[in-house]
Amino acid sequence: MEKELVIVLDFGGQYNQLIARRVRECNVYCEVKPYTMSLEEIKAANPKGIIFTGGPNSVYLEESPHYDKAIFELGIPILGICYGSQLMAYELGGTVATAPVSEYGQTEVTVENSNLFEGVSRTSICWMSHTDYIAALPEGFVRTGWSDVCPNAAMECAERKLYATQFHPEVMHTREGMKMLSNFVYKVCGCSGDWKMDSFVETTIAQLRERIGNGKVLCALSGGVDSSVAAVLLSKAVGKQLTCVFVDHGLLRKNEGDEVEAVFGPDGDYDLNFIRVNAQERFYKKLAGVEEPEAKRKIIGAEFIRVFEEEAKKIGAVDFLVQGTIYPDVIESGLGKSAVIKSHHNVGGLPDCVDFKAIVEPLRMLFKDEVRRAGLELGIPEYLVYRQPFPGPGLGVRIVGEITAEKVRIVQDADFIYREELAKAGVEGLSQYFAALTNMRSVGVMGDFRTYDYAVALRAVMTSDFMTAEAAEIPWAVLSKVTNRIVNEVKGVNRVLYDCTGKPPATIEFE
Ligand code: XMP
């Protein structure tokens, strides 16, 4: 049976992904599509509902994105949000103008009897962000919400299943926004909520089995959540036809290589061929004497590809190469490129170095939280499923300046202690935390002796999107304990610093 679909039609708003995630949280499958998707394509996709996103423009300008008015005649329920609400009003004969007073931030909105607001308080805090407003409603519409300065904060024509909100129900600052979106997909669109992780896992395994047949599959396994979930899905689908290559570049966290091997290796839980390549020395040799961050990243990336290529050659021609692409990558690859701050190294270069017939991307339609839920569904251990992000070049970007085996040992041991103490103290709410090794050596005293050793920097940040981040406030007692343990237990360190910098201006990683 076809699963239910809601389309988020993207008019350039910054919350397009968020809308899709919220709809999926309601157990309804949702895809983000550009506003250039044609009416014919929309009809063919047969969605249960459509959501118009916000956008930065003014609808009355010719160059702003518009959509064929015929979309309102399809009988498919539509919810317009912010710019999307103004577009609906404008196209259907209402008036949109610059508001006498712009609204930005949390605003009290009064809502009235509407399917959309069933179960929502009569006055509810909503997130506004607009300078234009709907000055006059289109014919046949009634207003269903207003604020002190926005006379038409929500409107609808229930008969035609057209709904609009000037505010953003998808952001958490709109306190009852989830209820509104859930009302839209269930009460207006009549969805039944058939998007569940257990059925995703089951159907994906069946589809993979059918697509792959007797083919040979190759997967670069990093031990991160995406490649782990992709590998397990394939292992459940085709067992030993899958070979996973795990490259230990010597820049992993303490014990990480062994942990990955314990789960996926011959004594682990899954039916697959597992190849661990211990390439530490190769990487250290290539990195010797190199200090410049981008040069280090490029060397690690290139060497990774070389090692993988050698393994792939030993395996021989494969039919399918697995990529752990997830949905945000798919959405973002459709957008313009911004300045390169760091060249991120994952498995991007692999397709060029392996002889294969097709790529399989089993997680292509999943958001990160859905990948994790699929992982749990598949029985992958929780500590792997909830692992914090770890960069492809690993500790290579957490050691400032030249990398040596000795420095790797220092940062691994310090990081291990830091993670252990944070876990013991039950510190929660951190998005990412780690120890890094600075290239600063300074004078200290231990016992009666002068020391001249390295400074370790501790970092912990809170962020929702990793594009911006705040330094976390770690309790002093915890920092103090970590510091004591590091200087006492990790040879070569006589000073521990805490990084209080946000992003921007700093980045999360040190290089
Ligand atoms: P920055 O340092 O740019 O990091 O603030 C943002 C997030 O991206 C992670 N990161 C990487 N992830 N390959 C990755 O897969 C990389 O090369 C890479 N560099 C940084 C970083 O850990 C943080 O979560």
Question: What are the φ/ψ torsions at residue 300 (nearest 5 degrees)?
Answer: -65, -45
Cα atoms in the 13 Å half-sphere on the side-chain side of 346: 14
127: number of Cβ within 10 Å: 22
Asked whether the predicted pLDDT for residue 334 surpasses 80, the reply is: no
Q: How far is CA 467 from CA 398, 464, 504, in A?
A: 18, 8, 8
Percent above pLDDT 90 for the chain = 89
Question: What are the φ/ψ torsions at residue 422 (nearest 5 degrees)?
Answer: -65, -40
Q: What is the DSSP string of 341-397?
A: SS---SSTTHHHHS--SEEE-TTTT--HHHHHHHHHHTT--HHHHTPPP--TTGGGG
Q: How many angstroms separate the CA atoms of 90 and 96, rounded?
A: 6
Q: How far is the CA of 89 from the centre of ligand 1 (A)?
A: 42
Asked whether the predicted pLDDT for residue 339 surpasses 70, the reply is: no
Lowest mean pLDDT among 280-294, 343-357, 391-405, 477-491: 343-357
Q: pLDDT tens digits for 277-290?
A: 999 999 999 999 99
Q: pLDDT tens digits for 134-180?
A: 999 999 999 999 999 999 999 999 999 999 999 999 998 999 999 99
Q: What is the mean pLDDT of the chain?
A: 94
Closest protein CA for atom 11 of ligand 1: 391
Q: What is the mean pLDDT of residues 252-278?
A: 96
- What confidence score (pLDDT) does residue 53 get? 96
Per DSSP, the chain holds a count of helices (H) and strands (E) of: 15, 18
Q: Beta strand 29-34 with 5-10: parallel, antiparallel or unpaired? A: parallel
Q: pLDDT tens digits for 373-401?
A: 999 999 999 989 999 999 999 999 999 99
436: number of Cβ within 10 Å: 22
Closest protein CA for atom 21 of ligand 1: 391
What is the DSSP secondary structure assignment for residue 51, as one 8-state letter? E
Q: pLDDT tens digits for 79-124?
A: 999 999 999 999 999 999 999 999 999 999 999 989 999 999 999 9
Residues within a 6 A CB radius of ligand 1: 342, 344-346, 389, 391-393, 432, 466, 503, 507-509
pLDDT band for position 345 (cuts 50, 70, 90)? low
Asked whether the predicted pLDDT for residue 338 surpasses 60, the reply is: no
Give catalytic residue positions: 82, 168, 170
Greater pLDDT, 6 or 338? 6
Determine the residue of 390, 459, 466 to mutate for testing ligand 1's pocket, defined as the one with the most ligand atoms within 8 A of the Cβ atom: 466
Asked whether the predicted pLDDT for residue 336 surpasses 50, the reply is: no
Q: pLDDT tens digits for 303-316?
A: 999 999 999 999 99
- What confidence score (pLDDT) does residue 347 get? 60
Q: pLDDT tens digits for 183-201?
A: 999 999 999 999 999 999 9
**DSSP H helices in 222-367:** 225-238, 256-264, 280-287, 293-315, 327-332, 350-353
Closest protein CA for atom 12 of ligand 1: 391
Greater pLDDT, 342 or 322? 322
Ligand 1 atom closest to residue 342's alpha carbon, by position in its atom list? 3
- What confidence score (pLDDT) does residue 350 get? 82
**DSSP H helices in 94-217:** 177-183, 197-212
- What confidence score (pLDDT) does residue 369 get? 92
- What confidence score (pLDDT) does residue 378 get? 96
Say what the pTM is. Answer: 0.87
Strand partners, 326: none
- What confidence score (pLDDT) does residue 50 get? 98
Q: Are 147 and 109 in contact (CB under 8 A)?
A: yes
Structural domains in the chain plus CATH codes: 6-188 (3.40.50.880), 197-385 (3.40.50.620), 398-498 (3.30.300.10)
Ligand 1 atom closest to residue 469's alpha carbon, by position in its atom list? 5
Asked whether the predicted pLDDT for residue 337 surpasses 50, the reply is: no
Ligand 1 atom closest to residue 341's alpha carbon, by position in its atom list? 3
Q: What is the mean pLDDT of residues 358-371?
A: 94
Q: What is the mean pLDDT of residues 495-505?
A: 97
The set of residues, in sequence order, having a beta carbon less than 8 Å from that of 429 and lying 6+ positions away, is: 462, 472
Q: How far is the CA of 281 from the centre of ligand 1 (A)?
A: 24
Widest CA span in the chain: 87
